[in-house]
Amino acid sequence: MIGSDLVMYEEEFRKIDSELQKLHQQSNAKVVFLVDKNGQLIASAGETRDIDTTSLASLTAGNIAATGGIARLLGEKEFTILFHEGEKDNIHISLIGQRIILVVIFDQRSSLGLVRLRVKKSTEALARIFDEINKKVEKDKGEGPFEESPFAEISDEDIDSLFR
């Protein structure tokens, strides 16, 4: 398989979660979440109960992919920030490195300026955490897995049981 799969460990997940909680609080946002570019939800903070986060993650990734396609047509490498303004809610989407998408949903309790400022700070912190994860994954590949592999003894029957 080309490219590496995204792997998330307990320790880094906790760091990411606490960074998102901080961003959620400091930016006065309704919801903050992280998605990978393939549309998988990584983590979220805030009032997610009424939101279909799985669909939101996939559509956000589609949005970023489409915008990235437009960028390349125009000779840009990428548009790193997208902003959609609604009547009540606004959504701020930005890229962290080449792989991760940070989404902030906010209403009149916050402002675009505040969100941009806080997002910038969090982006640096989050980028560092994802670097750590990458290093760990590389190390795993060299020295054998850090955690027990769920695939070690996977069998035909295990897979058949998924479709019963």
Partner 1 sequence: MSFINYSSREINCKIVYYGPGLCGKTTNLQYIYRRTNPDQKGKLISLATETERTLFFDFLPLALGDIKGFRIRFHLYTVPGQVFYAASRKLILKGVDGVVFVADSQIERMESNMESLDDLQINLAEQGYELEKLPFAIQYNKRDLPNIVPVKEINKLLNHRDVPWFEGIAPTGKGVFETLKSVAKLVLFELKKHY
- Where does this chain bind partner 1 (CB under 8 A)? 1-10, 12-14, 36-40, 42, 52, 54-55, 58-59, 62, 65-66, 68-69, 145, 147, 149-154, 156, 158-163
- Torsion angles phi and psi, residue 71, rounded to 5: -55, -50
State in angstroms the smallest separation of the CB of 133 from partner 1: 11
Smallest distance, Å, CB 109 to partner 1? Answer: 28
Q: Which residues does 118 contact at the CB level (< 8 Å), separation at least 6?
A: 23, 26, 27
CB-based contact 35:103 (threshold 8 Å): yes
Q: Give least dist CB 141 to partner 1, A.
A: 9
**Nearest to partner 1 of 96, 115 (CB atom):** 96
Nearest to partner 1 of 113, 163 (CB atom): 163
13/125 with CB nearer partner 1? 13
Spatial distance between the Cα atoms of 121 and 99, rounded to a whole number of angstroms? 18
For the CB of residue 39, give the shortest distance to partner 1 in the complex, in Å.
Answer: 6
Residue for token digits 């000779």?
A: 75
Angle at 123 (CA atoms; ends 67, 45), nearest 5 degrees: 90
